Amino acid sequence: MTPIVLPRGFRRLPLAERRAALADALGCELPSALCGDAETSAVADLLVENAIGTFALPVGLATGFRVDGQDLVVPLATEEASVVAAASYGARLLSEGEGGAGIRTEADPPIATVQLFVEQPHNDAEHAVRAARDEIAALVDDAVASLVRRGGGFRSLTGQRVGDVLKVEIDLDVRDAMGANKVNTAGEAVRPLLERLTGGRTLMAIVTNASRRALVRASGQVPCSRLGRGGFSGAEVAQRIVRAAAIAAADHDRAVTHNKGVLNGIAALTQATGNDTRAVEAAAHGWAASGAGYAPLTSYGMSGGLLHGRLECPLPLGTVGGAVGAHPVSRFALRILGNPNSRRLAAVGAAVGLAQNLAALRALVTEGIQQGHMRLHAERLAFDAGARGAEVREIATALADTGRMDVATARQLLRTHRVAHPNRQQQASDDRD
């Protein structure tokens, strides 16, 4: 098969015609899952260029969260099996601790930073920028007036040489926005003034995704007695979790995987709320790498029969603006969370990251994660073989019993199953409807 060629002027076509042209070029219908409904199609068309449809991800509800004394159900959008179940499990463990408050969190004010890099500044440029602080602040606030009306805007300014370039960093309180757009607007607005003040030329003005001023922390504890599994006592599992975290602190490659597990939950919440997963992951990895080496985002210790867990990282999440406000699913996800402000959403994200990591570590240091994955793999094979509704579990169980994990066996089992339970097929198709 050869790759398709789009007709000239494709990007100027309305969405329906773009789809028709694509179907024409492919010589086949577009999948209905791509085309979705009218509303999501319209949002897709608004959000990206050359839109042809949407890629829907499963959204699941992680349960069992108690964050700062508040019970929460957390929507997670992810294609990865077991993320929702693991987050829920970790949440239940952590939510019993801390005198009933569950996971405790603390989020810094929502500060985002724009960096401007000015080339060939004169010798006194740093001083000139600092001396013009009020003028720069006024210009910034003017550029983001709607933010200022909501209590945000300019907060601080620094200037520093990086080689022969002057780096100017301006911090803004971005309130409930994720902030990148606002600070980029502010950065571009002050460019001409900075050039006048420094005698140099601005190479670029752009948000830094490091987001180190918007840190969030989550901590929780679990009675060790609750952790026993797979022949290990609770105390042994707790010790093994502490050792696993210590290994992540000592070994770069393990730390990367450890943090990937943390981000499984955080990125899924980020996705469900329409936020920028790349910004969140860049900030988390940047933070992890900001010390002597690349470090794990969580740490664990034991005392008084309790396992204590802690997470700290930047979490640049918004609850207004961009896709967050535009997408019906992100608005709905925020509604499930009780319409939090951005700091509370970040706090929930940190709680999810900690719960996700605890559940992963507990599985890893006991029976491993493959056992759970095999069940999901069997269910996937059953689905591929045509099982639907309750049949999926039944065929998956039968498949696991045979020890032959392939779709042909699943098909065979399904045929036999349907002969033995003719009504189940009807029920499965009812489930589908």
Residues that bind ligand MEV (CB under 6 A): 80, 257-258, 260-261, 264, 360, 364, 369
Residue placing its CB nearer to ligand MEV in the complex, 93 or 132: 93
Name which of 213 and 258 has its Cβ closer to ligand MEV: 258
As measured in angstroms, the least distance from the Cβ of 230 to ligand MEV is: 16
DSSP bridge partners of 171: 113, 156
Nearer to ligand MEV, 166 or 268 (CB): 268
Rounded Cα gap, residues 19 and 44, in angstroms: 13
Dist CA 352 CA 215 (whole Å): 15
Q: Choose among 202, 58, 243, 48: nearest CA to 116.
A: 202
For residues 273 and 333, is the Cβ–Cβ distance under 8 A?
Answer: yes
Compute the least distance from the CB of residue 252 to ligand MEV, in Å. Answer: 14
For the chain, the helix, strand and coil percentages under 3-state DSSP, each to the nearest 5 = 55, 20, 25
Instruction: Determine which one of 98, 126, 173, 276 is catalytic.
Output: 276
Closest residue to bound ligand MEV by CB: 261
Report, in Å, the least distance between residue 247 CB and ligand MEV. Answer: 11
- Cα distances from 221 to residues 92, 99, 102, 193, 412, in angstroms, run 11, 10, 8, 51, 48
Q: Which of 119, 141, 169, 260 is catalytic?
A: 260
| Residue 80 annotated as catalytic | yes
Which is nearer to ligand MEV, 293 or 338 (by Cβ)?
A: 293
Looking at beta carbons only, is 157 or 354 nearer to ligand MEV?
Answer: 354
Residue 261 CB, nearest approach to ligand MEV (Å): 3
Cα separation, 289 vs 283, in Å, equals 10
276 catalytic residue (yes or no): yes
Q: Which is nearer to ligand MEV, 80 or 236 (CB)?
A: 80
| Pick 238 or 324: Cβ nearer ligand MEV | 238
**Least distance in Å: CB of 408 to ligand MEV?**
29
Q: C-alpha angle 232/238/242, rounded to 5°? A: 130
Beta-carbon contacts of residue 403 (< 8 Å; ≥ 6 apart): none
Whole-angstrom distance, CA of residue 224 vs CA of residue 238: 6
Q: How far is the CB of 165 from ligand MEV (least distance, A)?
A: 39
The nearest distance, CB 360 to ligand MEV, in angstroms, is 4
Q: How far is Cα 311 from Cα 216, in angstroms, rounded to an integer?
A: 8
CB of 125 to ligand MEV, least distance (A): 46
Q: What is the DSSP string of 27-83?
A: TSPPPHHHH--HHHHHHHHHHSTT--------EEEEEEEEETTEEEEEEEE-SSTTH
Catalytic residue from among 122, 127, 252, 373: 373
d(CA 345, CA 338): 10
Cα separation, 323 vs 331, whole angstroms: 9
Tokens at 202, concatenated: 């601005």
Q: Which is nearer to ligand MEV, 216 or 297 (CB)?
A: 297
Residue 297 in contact with residue 216, Cβ under 8 Å? Answer: no
Active site residues: 80, 260, 276, 373
